[in-house]
Amino acid sequence: MRGSTEPGNGSRSMNIAGADSHRGEAHPEPARWLDNLAPYDPVSSLDKIWAKPQQIPFKLDWNESTIPPAPGVYRAIVNFLSHSNHLNWYPELGSHSLCHALSNYVDLPEENILVTNGSDDALELVCKTYLEPGNRVVVPMPTYTHFLVYVEARGAQVVPFYSSDLFDSAVDELRQVLTQDTKLVYLVNPNNPTGVTYSAGEVAGLLESFPNTLFLVDEAYFEFHGETVMGLVGRYENLVVTRTFSKCFGIAGLRMGYLCTGPSVMRQLKKLFNPKSVNRLGQIAAMACLEDLDYYRAFVREVTQAKELFRSEMAKRGLNVIITPANFVNMKVPDPPRFCRLLEEEGVYVRDRSSLPRMESYVRVSIPSVSQMHEVIRRIDRALARL
């Protein structure tokens, strides 16, 4: 009968009415440990740069390369795109061809290498695999802040470590913070923004002393630094090393990175790893980068010369520049926010780091080639005249 109330229909009608009455109030609840988590808030200059198409910019705020990738990168991409049935297919699973090329570059077997969607993807994968609520993660500070989001997103606790000298690794002091219950330690080597480094011997000592702790060593700036702990992979099962193609190799827009680790950790990481997450154009470009290392070594030499040029010229102007082994320096200036605004008007974009603990008065400047640096200095002079 049309007027009867069937159990199923009646329940559905009541549920719908109930949903309508609470629309706008009810919502899915996120994981409880996300309540106080602030999202990573990158400060990018791109919108400001694009708003001034007539101005030649110097983007020195994110430590990207200031020159284009090697010419062979473009040729490889164009050659790939000239054939049909490529972009409509998924990329090569596991980036096996790139792993083969990287094997020669890092001097490790292919099975020790995992290619990821930028090294950020590698850092997040480690956190997703190994961290759970309540775990303690020791992080020398200040450092790359996006990693802290990955930790806290797992409900784990960041344990900040500040050395007595901000620009020294102070490994002995770090040891005092670690316990056998420390789940993970994050070491950026060289560190961003301080430039602090950790020798292979220092890292090996930590690995031996804390065998139950996973040490995650971020070597984003390895190509500029030239020193690595990669030789410890395979000798120690509690080590992961991450690297990127976004800095020296100049393909940040294609999001290419990788990690290297021993078999036991790799076996766990692959449980959550998505083998089709790395785009095909990025794979092609990264392999082409590795085929022209001389091009990038020449750029590294340019950056090294430009760092010393910058330090010397700023000293003449009464400004202290702290050189790092990476492709950036820290410069102490009066009123960093105003200094950065004045530089932006000149088309030079640097990173104000003065809001970080114990980095008061510092700005971070990515280092370009020598010829680019001369123009950057001219523009800095114009900004200083108005400071």
Within its chain, how far is the Cα of 82 from the centroid? 32
pTM, two decimal places:
0.90
Residues in the chain: 387
Say which residue the tokens 């083998």 belong to.
Answer: 275
Q: Inform me whether the pLDDT recorded for 269 exceeds 80.
A: yes
Q: Using H for helix, E for strand and C for coil, what is the string for 336-377?
A: HHHHHHHHHHCCEECEECCCCCCCCCEEEEECCCHHHHHHHH
Residue bearing the bigger pLDDT, 328 or 29: 328
Asked if residues 250 and 277 have their Cβ atoms less than 8 Å apart, the reply is no
Q: Inform me whether the pLDDT recorded for 11 exceeds 80.
A: no
Within its chain, how far is the Cα of 228 from the centroid? 17
Q: Inform me whether the pLDDT recorded for 294 exceeds 50.
A: yes
pLDDT band, residue 8 (cuts 50/70/90):
very low
Cα 190 from Cα 185, distance rounded (Å): 15
27 CB neighbour count, 10 Å cutoff:
7
**pLDDT, position 23:** 55
**pLDDT, position 277:** 94
Q: Inform me whether the pLDDT recorded for 5 exceeds 70.
A: no
124-171 pLDDT per residue, tens: 999 999 999 999 999 999 999 999 999 999 999 999 999 999 999 999
pLDDT band, residue 34 (cuts 50/70/90):
confident
Domains of the chain, each with CATH number or no CATH:
46-66+294-386 (3.90.1150.10), 71-291 (3.40.640.10)
